[in-house]
Structure 1
Amino acid sequence: MGKLGILVAVAVFLETVSATSLGTVYTEGGMVQGENIRLGFRRHMDIFKGIPFADIPGRFEKPKRHPGWDGVLKTTEYRPRCMQVNLIMTDTRGSEDCLYLNIWVPHGRSVSTGLPVMVWIYGGGFLAGGSMGANFLDNYLYSGQEIADRGDVIVVTLGYRVGTLGFLSTGDSGLPGNYGLWDQHTAIAWVHRNIRSFGGDPDKITIFGESAGGASVSFQTLTPHNKGLYKRAISQSGVALCPWAINKNPRRFAEEVALKVNCPTDQSMAACLKMTDPALLTLAGSLSISSSPDHPLVNNLVLSPVIDGDFLPDEPSNLFHNAADIDYIAGVNDMDGHLFTALDVPSVNSHLVDTPIEDVKRLLGAYTKEKGKAGLENAYSTYTSTWGSNPNKETIKKTVVEIGTDYIFLVPTQAALYLHAANATTGRTYSYLFSQPNRMGGIGRPYPSWMGADHADDLQYVFGKPFTTPLAYWPGHRDVSGYMIAYWTNFAKTGDPNKGGLSVPASWPKFTSTGHQFIEINSKMDKNYVRQKMRTRYVHFWTSVLPNLPVNISE
């Protein structure tokens, strides 16, 4: 026993002495030093927090290269998020000095080289968010540690400008807009130029994001400015075709902001806005949370990208040729619309209050208002065709959530997948539906027992939270988290979610223009969870039937 004890002590000693670490890393701006942590026997990780990828941005200007620094920059703390409104929209948080990124690099028995790289773009309606995500007891949502460790990839998370400072546009050269998208592009380009020093392969970069981050990923694949910077992309619950992803009339909102901060709305508006206090500008761009079935919340998301003739030279649907060589995964959560429709029609969450059929009509009327009465009648008959003569209250509530999910997320994502597949040359296309039920659903809980996966429910699983905080989850949650990390990191390595070293519960077929196959992801999945033609009837309604109805001007 004594000998064994000595051997163990020696092994531990050798392990500590020979800790694998990149040490000080040379980047284009100067030297950086992160922290090195031990994950297990012969597993270490270097973590760098707060590396600048651009200079402090000028107000309403594209980001510029960082001038660099002398000596070694200690990169062990997250930097402030970009200036944004707080959750209740009464104040601001964050800073204009916010263009930083974070890097997680896993090592085995030797220092890593040539690893695939996954670059995360956060969501938050283009209004809020940060590269580290929400924080609970120092457990940051977007910590890349679990993905990097389990998938043997480098994870990068980046900051970008949001709200007024990131997306306000006058619709002309005065304030062209899309500054937040330029920030993302600049970070991706920085990763491409510098990641080799961190043990990454610049020819194996995947960008991924959720919600506004998923739409951002989609925009990054469509712009002509990213040629050759990365190979693959994953959009979770958001694409460039979503109804909230492009602001078609940015001038109107810019004038509203100008009036709130006492700027003129004539030709000197842009100059005045550039000189206004950033906190005042940010608060002036906060969105109205009050919503109803007639004025749904999604219509309030007006600080979003614009067709500027530069980053986005045309309507997104005409730019898919730019993504012809990009491998692409896109999908949605089965009740993605719940977060939004529960604010528009609060009765959907009530066990006691019925949802009036009138509210279904009002919501559909708001989503189809350009087409007037014919739009509403067609939509209503499409969504009530399976109701029978006497629908129960659960059916009506579920229908409200389905309408929101289809209109806000699912149908635009299917349309984007179809366009990607139709324009692809070497790029592969994959589609998924995430359906792990929300943990707040059930009797005595805030959500109904029929609740599926709400908007943003996928994040905790992709980022491995059931492994980080095991006491907060059931074993099934760890299963689904393991599946998602396997599919996502296999895809980052090979462009095929089924191949890359981690085993998966079902072989995920490609989405093609004829087959429209997808997988359904949840803790119970097996090879029978390969499906075909996601909600075809409803996709057909929103993409073919409704657009071909005449616009009703008289109403």
Structure 2
Amino acid sequence: MMGLLGAGLLLAAISYAECQLVVDLPNGKIEGFQQTTYTKKVYNAYQGIPFAQPPVGNLRFQAPQPAKNWSGTLETKAYSDYCYNMDSDAPEENEDCLYLNVFTPILNADQNTTKLPVVFSIYGGGFRNGKAGISPRYWIDNDIVLVSHNYRIAAFGFLATGDTVVPGNAGLKDQNLALQWTYDNIHLFGGDRDRITIMGQSAGGASVGYHLLSPKSRGLFRAGIAESGSPLNTWTYLEDPLDYAFELAQTINSSIPSDLTSAQLLDFLQSVDAKAIDNAQAIIKTRPVIFTEPEHDGAFITKPMYESFESGDYTKVPLILGVNSEERITIISDLDSVAKSAAQRDADPSKVLPDTYHLKSGVDKNEAADIIYKAYAGDAKLADHLGKYVKWESDNRFTRGVIKQGLLMSNYSPVYFYQFSYDGVIGGFNLTIAEADRVSHGEEQNYLSTPGAVGDLDSGDALTHNRMIQMWTDFIKKLNPTPAKLELLQNLIWPQVAPDSYQYLNINDTLKIENTPKAEQFLAWQNLFDTYMQRPFTTY
């Protein structure tokens, strides 16, 4: 008879055999570890897998290069350092940051023929801040493999010189290399490379749009989820990146002349310590550069974003796309500042026009601005109706570009548009103001990745969470967020956007199909662009 010790060792051996913690990648072996979800489902976690060489030295500001091979078995049991953020100064920030994470419910891919759908997650943060940190638990519970990754942001990710010396978009190229790595290797973790959905919020949502547009990402994914972000948002693009590059250099060293060549400027910026760049970019507070690149091998995007969506020059895959009901409601935390900004636009209504606008020749700027000003203020003043000013802020920064992307894409590919309007406890922002909606930028994220077990939520929050997870995971698996009528979803079928019928799903205490998100104001924006703006458009 086998002794207790022998039986225990046998059980341990059987348990280890059922769980493949060591994965043999093309670059070398890695070893992960096990975790459990709130429902006690076991999954394998691999954190800190290098997908690129450290972007240091002469690789700083340049396109990422694939990781080199390593010997032995690399332990991937903790998150790596993350890329330098613009608005923080944490000890975990590092220039050597290009690592990814894989979480899989398949415990032994070598012995399992089932391949699961994959979510490739891209974090937001305005292309200035952020790190890979999305919780895998609810995706794992629904038999979905999750991949998250770091990509360079702020100056390290988006510095450019307007030519091929520093062509720019290094951060988007980091995302692309991580996506290529996922496509090439995810089968080793039980994932199906032919069922990858790219997903992101804010800058992550805009990044999803950029991957739709980039020829470099074609064939690497079959669907997308873009929350509150679009390449058509004006904050995702800067027309003249060279000014920012010189500003960065001269903040580090004020004696740097403004007549350096691009190559000389690069030599200087590659010679200084990474921390000096990090400190300088925090002082400058200038948005990172995302711009139309010069044509060259390895270019990520070389054509205007709007025109590409309009002509159908993008990867035509199904997309969930949407906004929150009042993206910029958070600005009311400082009402004095809101009142001051509203008064400035009352005094000069042309300030309601987009930052990057180009009017047709001969157009009266005040006549054009009047269309937008009256769409929000009516015959009153914005300073007397701060909620209406908040609406303008939301639409100007986020909403109109996201809505327009959905409309343009509906001519060519399936788009499921939503507005998240549920104002719950875990949303995270609870201030309100008359004449504005209530749900701020990012609140929907708390219902896809709740801060605790669902059983700990109140009934409304739990219901909204369950609905969001049901629709998002059905889309990831079946390319349709409502493939069948379910009581959980009020037996509702979510329709696709059509060019002549902008139906969308309003996610609130109840679910409701409505027509044309932000209709009155959005139609005013369309009138402005169609009548007064100069083509070609880049953003919207």
Does the alignment reach a TM-score above 0.5? yes
Give the CA deviation at 1:104.
Answer: 1.4
TM-score, normalised on structure 1? 0.82
2:373 pairs with one of 369, 372, 380: 380
Give the CA deviation at 1:466.
Answer: 5.0
Mapped contact 2:106–2:190 kept (Cα < 8 A):
no
Sort the Cα spacing of 1:18 and 1:253 in 2 relative to 1 into closer, same or farther, 3 A. same
Q: Which residue of 2 aligns with 1:487?
A: 471
Q: Which residue of 2 aligns with 1:296?
A: none
Sort the Cα spacing of 1:347 and 1:276 in 2 relative to 1 into closer, same or farther, 3 A. closer
For 2:326 and 2:221, locate their aligned partners in 1 and report how far apart those are by CA, in whole Å: 31
**Residue deviations 1:340-360, cap 9 Å, x none?**
x44785465xxxxx7896355
Give the CA deviation at 1:227.
Answer: 1.7
For 1:362 and 1:126, locate their aligned partners in 2 and report how far apart those are by CA, in whole Å: 32
**Residue deviations 1:419-446, cap 9 Å, x none?**
2122x2xx32111101122649999x65
Q: Which residue of 1 aligns with 2:151?
A: 160
Q: Which residue of 1 aligns with 2:138?
A: 146
For 2:493 and 2:107, locate their aligned partners in 1 and report how far apart those are by CA, in whole Å: 28
**Residue deviations 1:79-98, cap 9 Å, x none?**
011122343xx788511111
| 1:282-297 equivalence runs, <5 A | 282-286=278-282
For 1:252 and 1:359, locate their aligned partners in 2 and report how far apart those are by CA, in whole Å: 27
For 2:404 and 2:382, locate their aligned partners in 1 and report how far apart those are by CA, in whole Å: 30
> 3-state SS of the aligned residue for 2:42?
strand
2:453 pairs with one of 467, 472, 475: 467
Q: Which residue of 1 aligns with 2:73?
A: 72
For 1:384 and 1:338, locate their aligned partners in 2 and report how far apart those are by CA, in whole Å: 17
For 1:467 and 1:390, locate their aligned partners in 2 and report how far apart those are by CA, in whole Å: 46
Give the CA deviation at 1:18.
Answer: 4.7
**Residue deviations 1:5-31, cap 9 Å, x none?**
xxxxx9xx9899657523311212111
In structure 1, what residue type is equivalent to 2:353? T
> 3-state SS of the aligned residue for 1:26?
strand
2:351 pairs with one of 366, 372, 380: 366
Q: Which residue of 2 aligns with 1:6?
A: none
Give the CA deviation at 1:205.
Answer: 0.2
> 3-state SS of the aligned residue for 2:443?
coil
Q: Which residue of 2 aligns with 1:507?
A: 493
> 3-state SS of the aligned residue for 1:98?
coil
For 1:284 and 1:83, locate their aligned partners in 2 and report how far apart those are by CA, in whole Å: 12
For 1:180 and 1:550, locate their aligned partners in 2 and report how far apart those are by CA, in whole Å: 30
In structure 1, what residue type is equivalent to 2:240? N
Give the CA deviation at 1:380.
Answer: 1.7
**Residue deviations 1:254-309, cap 9 Å, x none?**
121121122333212222122222221222223767xxxxxxxxxx5344444443
Gaps of 5+ in 2: 1-6, 360-364, 535-540
Residue 389 of structure 2 corresponds to residue 400 of structure 1: yes
Mapped contact 2:213–2:315 kept (Cα < 8 A):
no
Mapped contact 1:440–1:447 kept (Cα < 8 A):
no
Residue 218 of structure 2 corresponds to residue 220 of structure 1: no
Sort the Cα spacing of 1:366 and 1:277 in 2 relative to 1 into closer, same or farther, 3 A. farther
Q: Which residue of 2 aligns with 1:498?
A: 482
Sort the Cα spacing of 1:357 and 1:311 in 2 relative to 1 into closer, same or farther, 3 A. closer
Mapped contact 1:460–1:466 kept (Cα < 8 A):
no
For 2:252 and 2:342, locate their aligned partners in 1 and report how far apart those are by CA, in whole Å: 42
> 3-state SS of the aligned residue for 2:224?
strand
Sort the Cα spacing of 1:373 and 1:38 in 2 relative to 1 into closer, same or farther, 3 A. closer
Q: Which residue of 2 aligns with 1:29?
A: 27
In structure 2, what residue type is equivalent to 1:101? L
Identity over aligned pairs, percent = 27
2:502 pairs with one of 508, 516, 531: 516
For 2:36 and 2:193, locate their aligned partners in 1 and report how far apart those are by CA, in whole Å: 26
1:419 pairs with one of 408, 414, 418: 408
More deviation in 31-40 or 361-370? Answer: 361-370
For 1:363 and 1:477, locate their aligned partners in 2 and report how far apart those are by CA, in whole Å: 42
TM-score, normalised on structure 2? 0.84
For 1:325 and 1:391, locate their aligned partners in 2 and report how far apart those are by CA, in whole Å: 40
For 2:515 and 2:87, locate their aligned partners in 1 and report how far apart those are by CA, in whole Å: 41
Q: Which residue of 2 aligns with 1:5?
A: none
For 2:428 and 2:43, locate their aligned partners in 1 and report how far apart those are by CA, in whole Å: 40
**Residue deviations 1:185-243, cap 9 Å, x none?**
00000000000010000000000001111111110110011121110111101010001
Give the CA deviation at 1:39.
Answer: 4.5
Mapped contact 1:106–1:154 kept (Cα < 8 A):
yes
Q: Which residue of 1 aligns with 2:220?
A: 229
In structure 2, what residue type is equivalent to 1:541? A
Sort the Cα spacing of 1:51 and 1:500 in 2 relative to 1 into closer, same or farther, 3 A. farther
For 1:458 and 1:273, locate their aligned partners in 2 and report how far apart those are by CA, in whole Å: 39
For 1:276 and 1:66, locate their aligned partners in 2 and report how far apart those are by CA, in whole Å: 24
> 3-state SS of the aligned residue for 2:453?
helix
| 1:51-450 equivalence runs, <5 A | 51-57=49-55, 58-87=59-88, 94-107=93-106, 113-132=114-133, 142-149=134-141, 151-262=142-253, 263-265=256-258, 266-267=260-261, 268-286=264-282, 301-309=287-295, 310-320=299-309, 321-339=312-330, 341-342=331-332, 346=336, 358-359=343-344, 361=346, 365-368=350-353, 372-385=365-378, 396-422=385-411, 424=412, 427-437=413-423, 439=425, 447-448=432-433
In structure 2, what residue type is equivalent to 1:70? S
For 1:332 and 1:41, locate their aligned partners in 2 and report how far apart those are by CA, in whole Å: 30
Gaps of 5+ in 1: 1-9, 133-141, 290-299, 349-353
In structure 1, what residue type is equivalent to 2:103? W
Mapped contact 1:30–1:68 kept (Cα < 8 A):
yes
**Residue deviations 1:348-389, cap 9 Å, x none?**
5xxxxx78963553695434175632233222212133x7x7
For 2:427 and 2:53, locate their aligned partners in 1 and report how far apart those are by CA, in whole Å: 45
Mapped contact 1:37–1:45 kept (Cα < 8 A):
yes
Sort the Cα spacing of 1:441 and 1:477 in 2 relative to 1 into closer, same or farther, 3 A. closer
Mapped contact 1:440–1:446 kept (Cα < 8 A):
no
Residue 440 of structure 2 corresponds to residue 454 of structure 1: yes
**Residue deviations 1:29-76, cap 9 Å, x none?**
111121123448893211111111111122011111111211221111
Sort the Cα spacing of 1:23 and 1:546 in 2 relative to 1 into closer, same or farther, 3 A. closer
**Residue deviations 1:497-540, cap 9 Å, x none?**
11389864432111111111110113x223xx011111233222
More deviation in 427-436 or 318-327? Answer: 318-327
In structure 1, what residue type is equivalent to 2:136? G
